[in-house]
Every structure is written in structure tokens, then in C-alpha cells.
Chains A and B, each alone.
Chain A
Amino acid sequence: MLKVENMNVYYSNIHAIKGVSFHVNEGEIVTLIGANGAGKSTILKTISGLMHSKTGSISFNGENILKVAPHRIVRRGLAHAPEGRRIFLQMSVRENLEMGNYTQSAATMRERMEQIYVHFPRLKERHKQVAGTLSGGEQQMLAIGRALMSRPKLLMLDEPSMGLAPLLVVEIFKIVRECNEAGVTILLVEQNANMALSISDRAYVLETGNIALEGSAEDLISNDEVKKAYLGA
């Protein structure tokens, strides 16, 4: 479904992503794990068009989207819930979801919103509230719900567990799995490797802009190097 080949991204002179290639098959949950600064978020931003790779190709459903503008990529069914949630803090919960529906018809918006509210009943209770007044966990739910509004085929989630209490992390991951079971392919970026690997099919381990290791989630979870570096064992 998604195939990234030879991605090279620079921040002015800094070579941040060094020839990374990976793929995501339809229906999978794939995780990119790695330490701070390994380049996980940069990879997601490059796929969604906010940053640019100097080489290679990014093919999504068979089409190269490397040079497509970000607002057009969403229309093709690729949604990105970015790092730090980036919800619109001054808009209401409902308006945030409406923004998520931007590429979709207004006629089906209400129906879609109700579907989202099934996963996130808290958002329904607070639909009139200004998003900036939500708790961290609720904001994360809104970020995911907003991304789901565009009816994506592939959803990219950047650190959905960041800054959340352990119980909430479990809840968020449960929802991610529910979305996947409902037919959305997931590309996940996480520092919480344990949790991420437990719901993933496959994973890639990133180290300073390179893919150091790849394999099935089960293999990686029992891999000694991964255990030592990312699982705190």
C-alpha cells in the first residue's frame, strides 16, 4: 500500500534521513521505533508532503506522491495525526472534527462524526468545548478522531502515547487496534516500543536516519538488542 524507497531528507545542511526504504502492506499495523532524533517524525512529515525527500520515491496505492502537495495527499486517503497532536486549540472539538472532514462532503459529515463518537464518547460529551481546555488524553483522542474524519485508508500516528498516563496509553492503543480492525492500515511512530510492538504486525528500528533493524513485531520484541535499547530490559 505504501512503499518508501531511498528517502533522503535534509534540514539545511544536516542529513536527517539517509536513504531509508520501507513498506506498509494493506491491513497491517507497522511501527517505526527509535530514540529521540532518530528521524521518525521527519519520515512521516515527508510522506505527508510537509517535508521533501531529495531522492527516491514514495508510492501510495501505486502512485508516486513524492511531489504532491500535502493538501492533495489527504484526498488520496492518507491521513497524518502529527507529533504533539497539533489540534486547533482555539476551535471547538466539533470544529476540529469539521476540519478533519475538509476533504469530504458536508452531507456525510454528521454520520461520520457519530461513527467517531462511538470510539471516543468523551469527545461527544465535550463537542462544544474549546479544544485548548481538554486534557492531554482528550486532545490526543481528538487528534486521532480528526484524522479519521477524512476516511483514510492509511493513518499515520506520531507518538500517540506522548505525555499520557499509563492507563490512557492503554486506551489509546486499544482504539488504534479497533481502527485497524475496522479496515484502516496504520503506520505508527513510537518511543513506547513495548506497547507499540504489542499491537503491531511488523516494525522498523531507526537509528540516526538509518534503518538498523526490521522484522516481525514478535521477533523484535524478543531481540536482545532491541530489548536493551528500547524496552528497558
Chain B
Amino acid sequence: MLFLSQLINGLQLGSIYALVALGYNMVYGIVKLLNFAHGDIIMVGAYIALFSLNYNHHPVVAALLTVGGCTLLAIVIEKTAYSPLRLAPRLSLLITAIGVSILLQNLAQFFFEARGRAFPADRLLPTGTVSIGDATVSYTSLLTIGISVASMIVLTFIVNKTKLGKAMRAVSEDTGAAQLMGVNVNVVITFTFAVGAALAGVGALMYGVRFPLITPTIGAMLGLKAFVAAVFGGIGSIPGAMIGGFMIGLLEVLVIHMGYSGWADGVVFMLLIIVLLVRPTGIMGRNLMEKV
């Protein structure tokens, strides 16, 4: 059935956007920074995975290297670029994030060359298809959705049940009050960047499988799309990022299926404009009303 296979196709794409959007929203929730370098961390992750797999590492090793590499990179960026600006105006921080993004893209061009490299997706996930009813669905689609959803469940557990996760929520709601509880805000910020980047690492693997041509600029468009997903879902909201990501993925696949593949990106950004006009807080966005 065409509908089912397109639905799974859309969910696969959407789960990648959701993973990336989560990183945006978690960081925004804590430091009110739109981390525009987030997409480029994924680009670096995709290269790590590519080299590791070409080096004949076991897929699990490659995955761990990718997730670990992205996490480490994000911590280094946070400590060197963002942390010194903690008391600076938010705009300085935003401009710095754009600077980091440009830096990463250019470093990647310098070290990895500008040409596209083929991502060895078949070494990471099993190839082949499975029939569900009349529909034929690839293993990689199902695995991508499964791994992404599993990552989100782990994240939800961390945020809701662990001490650091609760501290994250407390800091994102009221940094000063969290400090008065004894929370070391710097630790929470670093932890948030690390968790966001770990999800980005998973996203990098899934992106490579879906679009197996890696260039130094893949992070830019992916980052922007995930940003739209984040705004659509509600900036700063974790469930919002998940919902937003899946919605954007489904929308894109729908537009392509209708025969307007050239319009897919345009429709996504049109959606951003509409959301900003109609409901700037997004689907899950908080009302700014508070009980006094």
C-alpha cells in the first residue's frame, strides 16, 4: 500500500529531524541560545561515522565513536565559545553560534575536501525489505524510526527521572531559583549540550543512512529544517521537538509524493513563516501567562 510505505518514509525522515530538533530545544530551554552550530555537529558526526565504517570498524564501534565524538565536540564548543559569554547579551551568543557553524564548515572543507563522499550505509544497518500488507518497507526505515524513538524514550527518562534531568528542567524554568536549591548551573549547561549532541550523533548516523552522500555543508540545511521543526513544535519544549520533527518529515514526504519535490524545502520554510505569524509559541509552546 502506497499510503503505508509513504507514512513510514515520512516517519523515517521525521525521526531524523526530531533528533536534531531535540538538541535545539534542550539548549534553548537552558541558555536561551539558538545553537546554529548544531547542524554542523551532525555533519562532523557523519564524517566520523563514514571514516570509521570505511576503516572496517564494527557498526557498534562506529556508532559509539560518532555519538562520543559529537558529544565531545559539543562540550569543547560550549566551554570555549559559549561559556565565556554567559553574562553577555543573547545576541552576542547567537552571532557566536553562527560563527562556530561557519568555522566547522570551513574546517571540514579543509580537512575532508569539498567533494561529496559516499556513506557506507550498508555497513551500518542491514539492507533488505520487509512486506507489511501490500507495502514494501526497507529495514533501514524501520530501524531508523525504532532507534530514534528508543533514543527519545531514554531522553524522556533522563529528563523526568534522574537528578540531573530534574535539575535541567529546574534551570530551564528559573535559573536563579535552581541555584538557590544548590544546582551548579555550569554543570547542568554542559550536561545539556552533551545530551543534545549525543542525540545529534544518533541523528548523524540516521542521516547518513537516508542521504548517503556526505559533504561539509549537509549540516546547514538539516539544521535549518530541524530549527523549523523546533519552532513548529514549540521552541524550548522537548515533546514539541519530537512532534515538530515528525510533522515536518511527513509534510516533506507528502509534498514530494504529490510531485512537487522541488518545492519540499520551500513548503517547510513557508510553514515556519505561517507558524511565526499565527502561533509563534508553536504547538506545545508555553503560554507566558503565570499565576501570581
Interface residues of A (CB under 8 A from B): 48-50, 69-72, 74-75, 79-80, 82, 84, 86-91, 95, 98-100, 102-103, 106, 132-133, 136, 139, 146-147, 150, 163
Tell me which of B180, B184, B185 contacts A48 (CB under 8 A).
Answer: B180
Assess the A102–B176 pair: CB atoms within 8 A.
no
**Bound Cα distance A79, B286 (Å):** 29
Given contacts A99-B167, A136-B292, contact A50 B183 (CB under 8 A): no
Contacts of B292 in A (CB 8 A): 84, 136, 163
Interface residues of B (CB under 8 A from A): 163, 166-167, 169-170, 173-174, 176-185, 286, 290-292
Contacts of B173 in A (CB 8 A): 88-91
Assess the B290–A89 pair: CB atoms within 8 A.
yes
**Bound Cα distance A198, B165 (Å):** 42
Contacts of A70 in B (CB 8 A): 179-180
- Distance in Å: Cβ of A131 to nearest Cβ of chain B: 10
Given contacts A89-B290, A132-B291, contact A82 B180 (CB under 8 A): yes
**Bound Cα distance A133, B289 (Å):** 12
- Distance in Å: Cβ of B240 to nearest Cβ of chain A: 13
Contacts of A74 in B (CB 8 A): 180-182
Number of A-B contacts (CB under 8 A): 74
**Bound Cα distance A100, B166 (Å):** 11
Contacts of A102 in B (CB 8 A): 163, 167, 181-183
Assess the B177–A71 pair: CB atoms within 8 A.
no
Contacts of A84 in B (CB 8 A): 292
Which single residue of chain B is at the shortest CB-CB distance from A70? B179
Assess the B183–A86 pair: CB atoms within 8 A.
no
- Distance in Å: Cβ of B45 to nearest Cβ of chain A: 31
Given contacts A88-B174, A89-B173, A91-B170, contact A80 B180 (CB under 8 A): yes
Contacts of B185 in A (CB 8 A): 71
Contacts of A146 in B (CB 8 A): 181
Contacts of B178 in A (CB 8 A): 99
Tell me which of B176, B177, B286 contacts A87 (CB under 8 A).
Answer: B177
**Bound Cα distance A84, B179 (Å):** 16
**Bound Cα distance A80, B176 (Å):** 11
Of all A-B residue pairs in the complex, the 4 with the closest CB atoms, nearest first, are A103-B182, A74-B182, A86-B177, A70-B179
**Bound Cα distance A187, B177 (Å):** 18
9 contacts between A and B (CB under 8 A): A69-B179, A70-B179, A71-B184, A82-B177, A88-B177, A99-B181, A102-B182, A103-B181, A147-B180
- Distance in Å: Cβ of B157 to nearest Cβ of chain A: 15
Contacts of A150 in B (CB 8 A): 181-182
Assess the A90–B180 pair: CB atoms within 8 A.
no
Contacts of B179 in A (CB 8 A): 49-50, 69-71
Which single residue of chain A is at the shortest CB-CB distance from B292? A163
**Bound Cα distance A91, B165 (Å):** 12
Given contacts A91-B169, A102-B163, contact A132 B290 (CB under 8 A): yes
- Distance in Å: Cβ of A136 to nearest Cβ of chain B: 7
Contacts of B180 in A (CB 8 A): 48, 50, 70, 74, 79-80, 82, 86, 147
Contacts of A91 in B (CB 8 A): 166, 169-170, 173
Q: Which of B179, B180, B185 has the most CB of A within 10 A?
A: B180
Q: Which of A69, A75, A133 has the most CB of B within 10 A?
A: A69
**Bound Cα distance A206, B205 (Å):** 62
Contacts of B291 in A (CB 8 A): 89, 132-133, 136, 139
Contacts of A133 in B (CB 8 A): 291
